[in-house]
Structure formats: C-alpha cells, structure tokens
Structure 1
Amino acid sequence: MARTVARVIVDALSELGVRQVFGVVGDALNPLTDAIRTTGNLEWVGCRHEEAAAFAASAQSQLSGTLGVCMGTVGPGSVHLLNGLYDAAKSHTPVLAIAGQVPLAEIGSDYFQEVDNDALFSDVAVFRATITSPDQLPQMLETAVRHALGRKGVAVLTVPGDLGERELQSDRPARFSLNAPLSRPEESAVRRAAGLLDRAERVTLLVGRGARAAREDVLTLADRLAAPMVLTLKAKEGFEGDANPFQVGQTGLIGNPAAASALQDADTLLLLGTDFPYRDWYPEGRTVVQVDTEAAHIGRRVPVDIGLVGDTGATVRDLLVHLAAAPGEEDGVRDRSHLEKARKRFEQWREGQARLADPAHDKGLLGRVRSSLDNRTHDIRPEALAAAVDRLAAEDAVFTSDTGMATVWLSRFVEMRGERRLIGSYNLGSMANAMPQALGAQALDRQRQVVAFCGDGGLSMLLGDLMTLKTQRLPVKLVVFDNRRLGMVKLEQEQAGLPEFGTVLDNPDFAAVATAMGITGIRVTDPADLEDAVRRAFDAPGPVLLDVLTNPDEIAVPAKPTVEQGWGFAVAKVKEIVRSHGDDSAD
C-alpha cells in the first residue's frame, strides 16, 4: 500500500522512539498532524506558542539524549520556532523541526505568508532542506535526522502544504543506523599533559557538562591530583552532593569566592569538557591543559599549553595511566593544602549563605539592620525561597530555570544531588525558557517531579502556555520569583552606576491568573508562611503556580566583587534616591 509523505515522516519518527511532537496546528501541517492523530504511540502536544514548542522539544532532547521534535506551520508559525531552536543549537542537543511552506507552485512568488525557510534557519541549523518531491523520501528525512543526532544540533525539514498528502512510489522504510564515535587524543599529547600535571604544585579542575558521563573517572583524577573542582553551571548535575569531596561550586557572576580563589591560587588549570565563555574569570599566566571533543573549542577562551581533543572519559582514563607521583612526594601522596584551603573556604561561604536563607534571618540583629537598608517592606528573601525548594523537592526532580536572578538563586541554593537534573538557557541566555522547558520535561515523564524556577518577566513573556500545562494535565510546579523587576538588568544597571530604568514590572497576581486558568495558584507574601506554602505546592496534584513576592533589592554579590562595581552601585543608589525624591515633589 502506497504511503503519503506525511505518513512516512510520522511513521519514521515513531519507529525512532520519538514520543511527543510539540507545535501549533495549521494549514501546511494538517496532513502531518492528521497522521499523528492516527498513530498510537506518538502524541501531539498542542502549544499556545511555537517558541514554547521548540523549548519543550529541546528539553526532551537534553534529558533523553535523543531526538526532540517540534513543528511550525507556514510563515509566522515557523518563524516563531526560531528562538527555541537557537537555544537547542547552542545547547548542542539534537532537535528536528518540521516547518510548513506554501504550495510548491507558489514558492518564490511572494505568496501569502511565504518565508524562505532555508534562508531563515541557515544560521541555526546543521541541516536544512525543502522537500519538493515525494521521491526525496525517506532519504532526505534520514539525512536530516543523522545530521541532528550526529552533529548534536538542529535539523529543519520544510514540507510544502500540498506535498504532505502526496504518495511515494517506494515503500522502503526509513533507516537511521548511527553509532557515536569514541575519539581519543594522541598518546604523545597525553604523555606531555601528564608530565605537566605531575610537575604542577597546585592544580585546579574546571569541569563542564562534557565531563558528566565520566564522573567517577574525573573524581579519581581530582583525588590523584589533590585538586579542587570548580563546576560550570551545567556541571552541577552529576558533580554536586556530599559524594564529591572536591567540588567548590561555580565561578563567574553567579559563583562564589572559594571557586574564584581556587582558580586564582592554582599554578595549573585542567579544563574538562567545558567551553566556559567568560574570559575575565580565567586567571592569567597559568599553565593550562584542556580536554574537549571539539578541536575548535581548544584555546578559544584562554591560552592553552596542551590541548587534548577526544572524549573526556577516555582521555581522563588515559591521563590516569600516565600520571606518576609528583617529585619529592612519598608514596605518591600529593600535598593537599591547596584542595583543603579551597574546600574550607567553600564550606564557610555555604554556612554564610545558609544564614541568609533562613526565613527568620531578618528578625535577628544583623538581619534587622540589613533589612532596614534593602528590604524595608519585609518581602521574602529569594535565598529563603530557593533553599526551601531545595529542602522539599524530590531527590530525582528535574529543575529548569529562567535566565537571570532565578538562575542565580538556583545555582547557589539548589543542590543537584541524587538523580536530579537541570536544564536552562545557559548558552543562549533567553528569557521565558523555564516554563516551556518544564512542559517538555514533564511530558516525557508525568510521574517525575518537575520544578521550574521562573522569573516574573520570563513567565509573563510566554504566559499563554500555562494553558498547555492545564490542557495536557502536566503536574509541573512553577516557582515564581516575583520581585516585580527584570532583576538581572536592574543589577547590571546599578553595578555600572546607572539608576534603575525600564525594569519595573506591573505584575498581576500570578496565583490568581493561574486559578482563573484552572491551575492551582498559591500566593505567598509573609516569610513565616513560606515553608508551608512550598510543601503544599509540591503535595498538590496537577500543575501548581507558587507566586512568591520576593525582595526586589536583593543583591547577588559576585565571586570577585570589584571596587568599580561597589562604587557604581553606590552611585546608582544615590541617583535613584534623588530621582525618587524629585518624583515625590512633582506629585
């Protein structure tokens, strides 16, 4: 029996193990969505915005390590996919986007809603093509999927509206056989790197997402080198918790002084599976060894003495074979003072953070003094909210976080222990990612707890897809840091000495909005009610929106605060006070 273009695509996705397709229905997609409707093990998840669909597909891909799929109909529908697809591309995760197109005969005629998809997606996609004949299938689909999986990126396949129902002459099924290669660096380079590490007195590891699959090998290497382990945000998952006695948290603007000093105090840095982009946070004049699967990543952030291109796990195991005891050390035992100093400072910093996160903090003497300066309305401290979520969330919860201050609080107060997972827009830095990524994560496993750390600005940007959670009965727990601000922008302005401008948000009662949509809404304004409210949110069935009014003037002190930042902040505060007084006098 002859099959249509739409049926070939949908059957192939089903056989590939894809479980959900995210998108917004529309004319050019009608043959495809109808084929999904009649396929038993492939679910259509209708979203309210295609950007949310792309974010959801990307989240599924990142969690599963396999292909995520989204669809956008002709013209604007496909354009709306673009931001979520950029996030997938910069997260290096395989996503297939099916884009609608005008009828074949109208392509190039400036037809209604016509967009050149091949040009539109040229920068974001590792593969893009427009099907112009049924006979191009299944080969073109196979090529698109292999590009997405093999190159860990986005593939875009455009299907004109009148092509989906056309039949193929061939009945050959699609085949996607693909084996991931395991690469290793040259042994001579490994030997040189091992020699550098042997001669080093103080080694610090900077560990990224690319090392997560090699956790035990990396821990063994840290022990052998007596090296503190600085984690990138994406390496929190897999390397945090009490089972890692080497980690000292993150560096950068969201980081802590212990991690910053561990890098600064080292004479040798070993970068494992990371492309940490912030040049200012790398110390100068250090010996650097970098391990990465991509040759193009070697040395593009910091000058590298030896670059090892290969799988992180395989390369670390090779290093362990060639590492010898450091000169002058008995029985191969290294001086561990560098590690112990970094860990002691890290624990001290964590103790201080725990005091800030205590809901009763502002009732003490120091807390009262502090709140008189930065929290006169006695809003809930965001640290307390994040810490409460950490205490009460499941040990296998999936967390997503919006870009900005929500990510800062998650980074500092939520530990990725146990089987917890973490997803965010940590390379693209998009707003509005947490809720749709949580949507995709929850659709993948409805029994697993999914918690979204939402900024009020991010949540309101794609607010319509709250209805998708309701319609699909996805029990996502949305934790809203409602500080009535674009908080990170506010902080950036003030650190530069500028008064806050354009960041104030005139928010609704988000809990009431959720309730109106048929979602459980809980609003918290009193710090004394926080713990119970978080517990009720996690215990309630179905989706829940927890709207917590947090302090808009909370300051996240960076790991290496500078005099310029402090001076800029002071100047900004003076300008804000003067402006405020001027506004009052004009009323």
Structure 2
Amino acid sequence: MARTVARVIVDALGDLGVRQVFGVVGDALNPLTDALRTTEGLEWVGCRHEEAAAFAASAQAQLGDTLGVCMGTVGPGSVHLLNGLYDAAKSHAPVLAIAGQVPLAELGSDYFQEVDNDALFRDVAVFHATLTSPEQLPQMLETAVRTALGRKGVAVLTVPGDLGEREVPDGRPARFGLSRAVSRPEEPAVQRAAELLDGSERLTLLVGAGARAARTDVLALADRLAAPMVLTLKAKEGFEDDTNGFQVGQTGLIGNPAAAAALKDADTLLLLGTDFPYRDWYPTDRTVIQVDTDATHIGRRVPVDVALVGDTGATVRDLLDHLACPPAGADGARDRSHLAQARERFEQWRTGQARLADPAHDTGLVGRVRSALDNRSHDVRPEALAALVDRVAAEDAVFTSDTGMATVWLSRFVQMRGRRALIGSYNLGSMANAMPQALGAQCLDRDRQVVAFCGDGGLSMLLGDLMTLKTYRLPVKLVVFDNRRLGMVKLEQEQAGLPEFGTVLDNPDFAAVADAMGITGIRVTHAAELEDAVRRAFDTPGPVLLDVLTNPDEIAVPAKPTVEQGWGFAVAKVKEVLRSHTDPPEVGH
C-alpha cells in the first residue's frame, strides 16, 4: 500500500521510539502535522517559538539517549530553530530538524519566505539535504537519522510544502539499525601512558561528561593512582555524590580553590572524556595524558604527551591492566597525601559555602557587616535559594540552568546525587535555555520532577513558552533568580574595571505574569519567606514559577582570583558610585 511522504516520515519517527515532536505549525508542515495528529503514541507539542522547540528536542536527546525531533515551517520558522540547534550540536545531542520549504517549482525564485535551508544549516548540521522527489524516501531519511545518531549531531531534512502529500513508490518502511562502536587506543600508547602514570608523584584527574558511563572504572583508577578528581560542570552528573571520595568539585570561573589547587599542585594530569575549553585554567609544564573518543579533541586545549583515542571505559580498563602500582593498602601503593590535601581543602571550602547559604547568615555579626556593604536592600542571597532547592528537590530530579549566575549557584550548591540529571547550554552558552529544556525533559517523563534554574534575563527572552507548560500541563518548577540584572555580564564588566552598564532589567512581577497565564506564581521578597515558599512551590501540583528577588551585588569569587580582578572590581565600584551622583539613572534604578 502506497504511503505519502509525510506518512513515511512520521511512521519512521514512531518506529524509532520518538514520543514528541516540537515545533510551530505552518502551511509547509501541514501534511506532516496532520500525519502526527492521526498517529498513536506520537505527540505534537506546539511551542510559541521554534527556538524553544529546538531546545526541548535537544534536552530529550541528551536525557533519553535517543533522537530529539523538532520542526520549523518555511523561511522564518526554520531560521528560528537555529540557536537551539547550535546548542544541540555543541552538546553532541542527536536531533532531527524537519524544515519546511516553498513549493518545488518556486525553489530559487526568491519566492515569498524562501530561505536556502541547505546554506542556512550548513555550519550547524552533520547532515543537511532537501527532499526533491518522493523516490528519495526512505533512503534520505535513513541517512539523516543514522548520521545524527552516529555522529551525535544535528540532521536537517528540508521538505517542500507540495511534497508532503505525494505518494512514495517504495512501500518499505525505513530501517535504522545502528550499533555503538567501542574503540580502544593502540597498545604502545597505553603502555607509555601507564609508565608515565606509574612514575608520577602527584596526579590529578580532570573528568568530563565523556567519562560518565565509565564511573566504576574511573573510580577504580582514581583509587589506584591516589588521584583527586576535578570535575567539569557536565561531569557533576555521574561523579558528584558522597560516595565519591576523590572528587573536589569544578575548576574555572564557577569552580573552587581546592579544584584549582589540585590541578596546580599535580605533576601529571589525566584528562578523561573532557574537552574543557578554558586554557587559562590548565597548569603549564605538566605531563598530560588525554583520553577521548574524538581524535580532533586531543591536545587542542593543552599540549598532550600521550594521546589515547578510544572509549573512556575501555581505555581506563586497559590502563588498570598495565599499571605497575598496586591497589591502596598493598605494599608499594602510592602515597595518598596529594589526594588527602585536596579533599581537605575541598571540605573546608564546602563548609564556608554552607555558611553563606544559611538563610540566617545576614542576621549574625559577620552577615550584618557584609550586608551593609553588598546587600543594603536585604534581598535574598542566591546561595540560600540554591541550597534550599537542593534540600527539597527529589533525588531523581532533572535540573536545567540558564547560562550565567543561575549556573554558578547551581554548580556550587546543588549536588547531583542519586539519579539526578543536569542539562544546560554549557558549550554554546546561550541565554534562555533552561525553561524550554525543562519543557522537553518534562514531556519525556511527566512523573519525574523537573527543576529549571532561570535567570530573569533568560526567562524573559522566551517568556511566551510559559504558555506551552500550561497548555500541556507540564509540572515544571521554575526557580527564577530575579536580581534585575544580566548578572554575569555585570560581574564581567566590574572585574575588568568597568562600571556596570546596560545590564539593568526592568522586570515585571514574574509570579503575577505566571498567574495571569494560568500557572501558579509565588513571589519571595525577604529571606524569612524563603523556606516556606520553596517547599510550597515543590508541593504544589502542576507548573509553578517561584520568583525570588535575589541580591544583584552578590559576588561569585573565582577559584583563583587575581589581583587584577580585585583591583578592577574596586575601580568599577568607585566609577559606579561617581556615576550615581552625576548621571541620570538607568531604567529600573
């Protein structure tokens, strides 16, 4: 029995196990959305902005180890997908984007809304093609999907609006058989790496998301080498819990002094499944061994002495077999003082952070003095909000976070224990990702708790898709760090010695906006209200927006602050005070 182009595509998505397709309807997509309408088990989620649809699809791909799918209609609809697709590409998330196009006969005529999709998506997609004949199915769709899954990237299939209802002569269903290859580095490289590891005295691991599936093996290696384990943000999930006696948190601008010291004090660094991009945070003149499945990642951040191209788990097991040093406690085992010192520093730092996160901190002597300097309006400390959410949230909650200060507070105060999962725009660094990623995560499992750490700037950028949460009754908990600022930009300006400029946001009462949209809104303006409000937000069925007025002058001290940063901050504050006496106020002051 002949099937239409739209039916072949939609049936194939169902066979793949796709459960939702995100997008905005439009004329070029009508055959496809009509086929979705009549397909059991495959849900169309109509978003208010295609960018949100792409973020949602990317979140599903990252959480479900499956294909995320989004759609954008001809011209502007496809253009709007672009930012979310770039985030998927840089997150190595397999996503299929189906883009509408003008009728075949009008291609190349500068027709109304015509955009050259193949040119538009060339940089972001590992596969992009325009369907020009029904006979190209199902082979073109199979290639698109296999490429997205096999290369962990974005595939874009463009479908002209007049092709969707045409019949495909080949009646066979699409077939997507694909198995994951496990690769191993060459034996001489493993042997050389083991010799260097055996000969090191102070070894530190830098562990990334690529090592998450090999947790047991990585912990065994850390124990064997007596090595502290510095985590990238994306490795919090999988390695950050109280059963891991080796981890010392993150490095970089959002990191802590213990992690920075563990890297600096080492004579050898072992990088496992990470492409941590910030070169300034790598120590120089160290022996470096790097393990990665992608050879192009090796050595592009820091010079590498031994490159091990292969699956992290398989490579670590090979290293364990080649190491001469015996396990801990055996004769000849490695000295553990480097590990002990790093862990001691980390626990001291965590104790200090816990004091800052105490909602009653500002009522003590030190807190009152501190408030007089940096929190004269007595706004809620963002540390207290993040720490309280950590205590209240479920042990299997999915967290998303907006780029900026919301991610800083999550990284420092929310622990990825139990089955908790974490998604953010941690490679692209986009604004406005937390809420739509939470939307996709919640669609994947409506019974699993999903918590979005939203910046006020990020939330307001795609505010319309709050209605999508309401329409589909998705019980996401939106925690808004409402500091009336683009907080990370403010901090960057001040550290460079510049006065704050252009960062002030004239926000509405977000809780009232949520109420007007049919979503429960809760607003917190004082620390004394915080605990009750957070617990009420998490106990309330359905979607909830918790709008917390947080301190805009809160400073997230970097892991290794420099004299230049401190001096720049002081100069900026002087400039801000002088400007406040001479200039008209910015909006919102």
- TM-score, normalised with respect to structure 2: 0.99
TM alignment of 1:391-430, pairs within 5 A: 391-430=391-430
1:475-514 paired onto structure 2 within 5 Å:
475-514=475-514
The 1-side partners of 2:234 and 2:36 are apart by 34
Q: 2:522 maps to which residue?
A: 522
Is 2:29 aligned against 1:33? no
Conserved 8 A contact 1:396-1:418: yes
Q: What secondary structure sits across from 1:551 in the alignment? A: coil
Give the corresponding residue for 2:101: 101
Q: How does 1:103-502 map to 2 (within 5 A)?
A: 103-325=103-325, 331-502=331-502
1:174-230 deviation line (CA, Å, top 9, x unaligned):
000011110000111101000000000000000000000000000000000000000
Q: Which amino acid aligns with 1:36?
A: L
* Letter in structure 2 aligned against 1:350: R
Which letter maps to 1:364? G
Q: How far does residue 583 in structure 1 lie from its aligned partner after superposition?
A: 3.2
Task: Tell me how far apart the structure 2 counterparts of residues 231 and 175 of structure 1 sit (CA, whole Å).
Answer: 39
The Cα offsets for residues 49-85 of structure 1, whole Å up to 9 and x where unpaired, read as 0000000000000001110000000000000000000
* 2:121 corresponds to 1:87: no
Instruction: Tell me if structure 2 keeps the 8 A contact 1:198–1:326.
Output: no
- What residue identity is the alignment partner of 1:577? V
Name the CA distance, whole Å, in 2 between partners of 1:345 and 1:456.
Answer: 34
Query: Which amino acid in 1 is paired with 2:346?
Result: F
Pairwise mapping of residues 52-71 of structure 1 onto structure 2 (< 5 A)? 52-71=52-71
In structure 2, what is the Cα distance between the partners aligned to 1:357 and 1:508? 27
SS at match of 2:220: helix
Q: CA deviation at 1:405?
A: 0.1
Q: CA deviation at 1:584?
A: 7.0
Distance apart, 1:359 and its partner CA: 0.3
Aligned counterparts of 1:584 and 1:506: Cα–Cα separation in 2: 16
Cα distance per residue 1:273-298 (max 9 Å; x no partner): 00000000000000000000000000
> Is the contact made by 2:294 and 2:310 (CA closer than 8 Å) also made in structure 1?
yes
Once residues 161 and 513 of structure 2 are traced to their aligned partners in structure 1, the CA distance between those partners, rounded to angstroms, is 37
- Secondary structure of the corresponding residue to residue 40 of structure 1: coil
- Structure 1 distance, partners of 2:581, 2:441, is 47
Q: How much does 1:326 deviate? A: 7.5
Deviation of the 1:484 alpha carbon: 0.1
Which amino acid counterpart does residue 405 of structure 1 have in structure 2? M
**Runs of at least 5 residues in structure 1 that lack an aligned partner in the other structure:** none
Q: How many pairs align?
A: 587
CA–CA distance in structure 1, aligned partners of residues 18 and 325 of structure 2: 49
Asked if the contact 2:69/2:97 (under 8 Å) is kept, the reply is yes
Question: What residue in structure 1 maps to residue 564 of structure 2?
Answer: 564
Asked if the contact 2:224–2:326 (Cα under 8 Å) also holds between the matched residues in 1, the reply is: no
Percent identity over the alignment is: 86
Q: State the distance in 2 between where 1:567 and 1:32 align.
A: 59
Q: Take 2:330 and 2:277, find their aligned partners in 1: how far apart are those partners?
A: 38
The aligned amino acid for 2:254 is I
Structure 1 CA distance for aligned equivalents of residues 95 and 209 of structure 2: 19
Letter in 2 for 1:371: S
Question: Which residues of structure 2 form unaligned runs of 5+?
Answer: none
Tell me which residue corresponds to 1:553. Answer: 553
Q: Is the contact made by 1:324 and 1:332 (CA closer than 8 Å) also made in structure 2?
A: no
Map Cα deviations across residues 31-62 of structure 1 (whole Å, 9 max, x no partner): 00000000001000000000000000000000
Looking at structure 2, the residues matched to 192 and 272 of structure 1 have their Cα atoms a distance apart, in angstroms, of: 16
Query: Is the contact made by 1:185 and 1:308 (CA closer than 8 Å) also made in structure 2?
Result: yes
TM-score for the superposition, normalised by structure 1: 0.99
SS in 2 for 1:183: coil
Q: Write the letter of the residue equivalent to 1:504.
A: V
Offset of residue 585 of structure 1: 11
Q: Structure 1: how far apart are the matches of 2:585 and 2:455?
A: 33
Question: Hey, what's the Cα distance between the residues in 2 that align with 1:168 and 1:280?
Answer: 55
Q: Equivalents in 2 of 1:249, 1:87: separation in Å?
A: 24
Q: Give the CA deviation at 1:562.
A: 0.1
1:113-149 Cα shifts (integer Å, max 9, x gaps): 0000000000000000000000000000000000000
Task: Tell me the distance in 1 between the aligned counterparts of 2:330 and 2:81.
Answer: 60
Offset of 1:168 from its aligned partner?
A: 1.1
Q: CA deviation at 1:333?
A: 1.6
Aligned equivalents of 1:165, 1:95: Cα separation in 2: 24
Residues 304-362 of structure 1: per-residue CA shift (max 9 Å, x gap): 000000000000000000001289x9613210000000000000000000000000000
SS in 2 for 1:172: coil
Q: Distance in 1 between matches of 2:192 and 2:367?
A: 53
Aligned to 2:3, the other structure's residue is in SS state coil
Q: Distance in 2 between matches of 1:170 and 1:421?
A: 42
Task: Give the Cα–Cα distance (whole angstroms) in 2 for the partners of residues 570 and 325 of structure 1.
Answer: 50
Contact 1:375/1:551 (<8 A) preserved: yes
The secondary structure found in structure 2 opposite 1:190 is: helix
Distance 2:90 2:378 in 1: 39
Cα shift readout 1:403-448 (whole Å, capped 9, x = no counterpart): 0000000000000000000000000000000000000000000000
After superposition, the C-alpha distances for 1:74-105 in whole angstroms (9 at most, x for unaligned) are 00000000000000000001000000000000
* Contact residue 381 and residue 550 of structure 2 kept, 8 A: yes
Partner AA of 2:549 in structure 1: L
- Any idea what SS the aligned residue of 2:583 has? helix
Letter matched to residue 418 of structure 2 = G
Question: What amino acid does structure 1 have at the position aligned with 2:365?
Answer: L
> Is the 1:325–1:331 Cα contact (8 Å) retained in structure 2?
no
User: d(CA) in 1 for partners of 2:300 and 2:446?
Assistant: 41
Give secondary structure in 2 for the equivalent of 1:453: strand
Does the CA contact (< 8 Å) of 2:118 and 2:129 recur in 1? yes
Considering only aligned residues, what root-mean-square deviation do their CA atoms show, in Å? 1.4
CA distance in 1, matches of 2:326, 2:496: 46
Q: Report the Cα distance in structure 1 between the residues aligned to 2:184 and 2:580, rounded to whole angstroms.
A: 61
- Provide the rounded CA distance (Å) in 2 between the counterparts of 1:234 and 1:363: 35
In 1, Cα distance between the equivalents of 2:444 and 2:415?
A: 23
Per-residue deviation at 1:29? 0.2
Return the alpha-carbon distance in structure 1 between the equivalents of residues 288 and 196 of structure 2: 9
State the partner residue of 1:22: 22
- The 4+ residue runs of structure 1 with deviation greater than 2 A are 583-587
User: Residue 72 of structure 1 aligns to which amino acid in structure 2?
Assistant: G
